[in-house]
């Protein structure tokens, strides 16, 4: 663990209507090789600091969906600008099986793209489902067969990512489902995996403060997203808060 290190923005790609993908060159190399599913705390000095999943490592990349004050400010940065980061933190995905299915919703697809690249290196066969509400919110494909779905049918299969994943399971067998996106979608993906006797790994998101397992703010039941996760397996289905509650900025329990 360390203090934040400065990083120069070397690339800015507007991936869709709300997502900007940045590539960075940190002044100090991360103390270990980031794994898919791990995250960094990105700091805009004097403003705020938030967790972002790694979207790629050569070069180090993050996909930022503009949805609040921090992500909007981050999205406005240009090539050559600096940001600060610390990490990688948390438990990432662990790749296993011969054939895997990736199910991503919205910009939750970003860490799965990194995972697809790692799977390819390891000779694991992957198929990805990339879903969004409409064509303008879809992410770019992964380096494997990618099936697109949109709720409004503006691109790819009309319907949600889970329906498409269900369709794939009818045709073939997958050892593991890896998923990232809205929690209700991940819950459905986990149940689908369980029904088909596949394993499942998902990336949980909670309001995060310290990022290193001390403050307890990002709890989901008795699990800490920053420390025990963000990658969790099928056991998360038994967690009383999963799919139901998160904690607001004060730590109050509120429905998802």
Partner 1 sequence: MKLKNPIVLASGIRGNSADLLIRAAMEGAGAATSKSCSLLPREGHNNPTMLDSGGVMMNAVGLSNPGVDEEKGEIARAVKEAGIPIIASIFGKSPEEFAKVAQSISEARPHMIEADISCPNIHREGMMFSSTPEDAASVVAAVREATALPISVKLSPQAADIGAVARACAESGADCITAINTMGGMFIDARARRSILHNSIGGISGPALKPVSLRCVYSIRKAVGPKMPIIGTGGVTTGIDAIEMLMAGATAVGIGSAVVLRKNAFADIAKEMESFMAESGYKSLSKIALIE
52 contacts: CB under 8 Å, gap ≥ 6:
39, 40, 41, 42, 62, 63, 64
User: Which own/partner contact pairs does 52-56 have at CB distance under 8 Å and 24+ positions apart?
Assistant: 53/110, 53/111, 53/180, 53/203, 53/230, 54/88, 54/111, 54/114, 55/21, 55/110, 55/111, 55/113, 55/114, 56/23, 56/113, 56/114, 56/117
Nearer to partner 1, 6 or 77 (CB): 6
Q: Considering beta carbons, is residue 90 or 181 the nearer one to partner 1? A: 90
Peptide bond into 230 cis (omega under 30): yes
Q: Are strands 125-132 and 199-203 parallel, antiparallel or unpaired?
A: unpaired
Q: Minimum CB separation from partner 1 for residue 4, in Å?
A: 6
Residues that bind partner 1 (CB under 8 A): 1-4, 6, 27, 41, 43, 45-50, 82, 84, 86, 209-217, 219, 221-222, 224, 227, 240, 247, 249-253
CB of 86 to partner 1, least distance (A): 8
**Residue closer to partner 1 (CB basis): 52 or 174:** 52
CB of 227 to partner 1, least distance (A): 7
- Min dist CB 46 to partner 1, Å, is 6
With both helix axes pointing from N to C terminus, report the angle between 161-171 and 183-195 in degrees, rounded to the nearest 10.
10
3-class DSSP state for residue 155?
Answer: coil
Could you tell me the smallest distance in angstroms from the CB atom of residue 59 to partner 1? 20
Nearest CB to partner 1, comparing residues 5 and 75: 5
Rounded Cα–Cα distance for residues 79 and 196 (Å):
45
Q: Which two tokens stand for residue 183?
A: 């929690």
Of the two residues 122 and 249, which places its CB atom closer to partner 1 in the complex?
A: 249
- Tell me whether residue 193 or residue 204 sits nearer to partner 1 (CB atom): 204
């Amino acid at each position: 663990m360390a203090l934040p290190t400065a990083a120069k923005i070397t690339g800015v790609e507007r991936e869709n209507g709300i997502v900007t993908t940045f590539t960075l060159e940190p002044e100090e190399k991360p103390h270990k090789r980031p794994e898919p599913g791990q995250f960094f705390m990105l700091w805009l000095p004097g403003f705020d600091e938030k967790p972002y999943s790694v979207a790629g490592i050569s070069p180090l990349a993050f996909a930022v969906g503009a949805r609040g004050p921090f992500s909007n400010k981050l999205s406005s940065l240009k090539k050559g600008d600096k940001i600060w980061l610390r990490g990688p933190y948390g438990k990432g995905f662990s790749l296993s099986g011969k054939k895997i299915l990736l199910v991503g919703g919205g910009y939750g697809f970003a860490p799965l793209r990194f995972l697809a690249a790692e799977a390819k290196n390891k000779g694991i066969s992957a198929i990805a489902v990339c879903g969004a509400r409409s064509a303008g919110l879809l992410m770019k494909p992964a380096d494997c067969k990618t099936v697109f779905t949109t709720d409004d049918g503006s691109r790819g299969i009309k319907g949600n990512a889970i329906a498409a994943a269900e369709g794939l399971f009818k045709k073939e067998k997958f050892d593991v489902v890896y998923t990232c996106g809205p929690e209700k979608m991940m819950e459905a993906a986990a149940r689908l995996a369980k029904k088909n006797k596949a394993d499942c790994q998902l990336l949980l998101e909670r309001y995060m403060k310290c990022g290193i397992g001390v403050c307890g703010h990002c709890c989901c039941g008795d699990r800490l997203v920053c420390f025990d996760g963000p990658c969790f397996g099928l056991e998360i289905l038994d967690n009383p808060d999963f799919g139901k509650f998160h904690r607001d900025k004060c730590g109050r329990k509120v429905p998802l």
